[in-house]
Amino acid sequence: MDARGTSAGGAAIRAEGLVRRFGENAAVDGVDLCVEPGEIYGFLGPNGAGKTTTVRMLVTLLSPTSGRATVAGRDVVTEPHEVRLRIGVALQEAALDAQQTGAEILRLQGRLYGLTAGETKRRLSELGELIDLGDALDRRVRGYSGGMRRRLDLAAALVHNPDVLFLDEPTTGLDPVSRQKVWEEVRRLNDELGVTIFLTTQYLEEADRLADRVGIIDAGRIAAEGTPEDLKRSVGQDLVVASTRGEANGAVERLRGLEAVEKVDVRGEELTIATPDGPRVVGKVAVALEESGVTVERLTLRTPTLDDVFLEVTGNRLNDGGDDSEEDGR
């Protein structure tokens, strides 16, 4: 892969001790990041964790209170103009002018990035299938659906062929087909063109499927970082999850004493048992729960998800933060 997004072999995105305070509140509280050229980095966290504030600092919209960051080898504070020439940004809300047509917005983007009319036309042609708006491209944006706006927003971020692409929750509000399409395009931009992609999301599946590495941010700090596989493996090879009726604390010691059980977590009426060999342990878990007098409503054997990782490192499930918006077509 011919990776773009940096100068002279450095990191595409580097942040060192990045802090952003709003009054007494530290929205971002000492974030260190290193995203390699050509990487898709998933920045995962619930609402209010500091994802968007971090992105706004990296794209030069917000100055850090302290710390330092470079994007495409340029300092976001001292060389913001150089950074802006090298990045594409699709912010959380599809930011479009409703009075213009889709084509006018894209042509304006091209002009602002110094593209000639011919170059912009070529890029529009290249991006045509991603935009997938057909004749609607010549209609005003105010009549667009949420999905159409999102696709146009993404295209606007790509008109000038950026080295580093920032996508702040790019599939929020998209239907499953459009979401799939954006995922494919993100993957393809990365695979074929080597575009470095910094992707914030609160959707576990999105981070899992797209990101080469994932950083989990919670309360303004990076709580864990690694490849999705490594992160999930850190929780355990397999998880046995028991939903119980009533408190299950009484079974914990007995479960911990079982062979091949690495960890037991209790969260309300749910027990999570981490083990390297789920099929062998699940039966023993059922027996131990029975012997402890715990009434089991459901016993599940599954592999860990990023949500389990999130629970492990923050003590909360990411889905608790309202991830149901994923399905509500907002």
| Shortest separation between residue 91's beta carbon and other proteins, angstroms | 6
Q: Which residues bind other proteins (CB under 8 A)?
A: 59-63, 80-81, 84-87, 89, 91-100, 104, 108-109, 111-115, 119, 122-123, 126-127, 129-130, 132, 140, 156, 160-162, 180-181, 184-185, 188, 192-193
CA dihedral 124, 111, 96, 103 (to 10 degrees): -40
**Could you give the CA distance from residue 40 to residue 269 in angstroms, rounded to a whole number?**
37
In the complex with other proteins, the residue whose CB is nearer, 88 or 236, is: 88
| Shortest separation between residue 83's beta carbon and other proteins, angstroms | 9
In the complex with other proteins, the residue whose CB is nearer, 194 or 226, is: 194
In the complex with other proteins, the residue whose CB is nearer, 59 or 207, is: 59
In the complex with other proteins, the residue whose CB is nearer, 54 or 314, is: 54
| Shortest separation between residue 275's beta carbon and other proteins, angstroms | 38
| Shortest separation between residue 225's beta carbon and other proteins, angstroms | 25
**Could you give the CA distance from residue 115 to residue 206 in angstroms, rounded to a whole number?**
32
**E runs forming strands in the chain:** 13-22, 25-35, 40-44, 66-71, 74-75, 87-90, 164-168, 196-201, 213-218, 221-226, 238-245, 263-267, 270-275, 295-302
In the complex with other proteins, the residue whose CB is nearer, 14 or 160, is: 160
CA-only gyration radius of the chain, Å? 23
Nearest CA to 193 among 49, 62, 55, 40? 40
SS3 149: helix
Q: At what angle do helices 146-158 and 117-131 cross, to 10 degrees?
A: 140
In the complex with other proteins, the residue whose CB is nearer, 4 or 14, is: 4
In the complex with other proteins, the residue whose CB is nearer, 122 or 280, is: 122
| Shortest separation between residue 128's beta carbon and other proteins, angstroms | 8
Amino acid symbol at 64: P
| Shortest separation between residue 129's beta carbon and other proteins, angstroms | 4
Count Cα neighbours of 198 within 13 Å in the Cβ-side half-sphere. Answer: 33
Helix %, strand %, coil % for the chain, to 5?
Answer: 40, 25, 30
| Shortest separation between residue 103's beta carbon and other proteins, angstroms | 12
**Could you give the CA distance from residue 280 to residue 262 in angstroms, rounded to a whole number?**
13
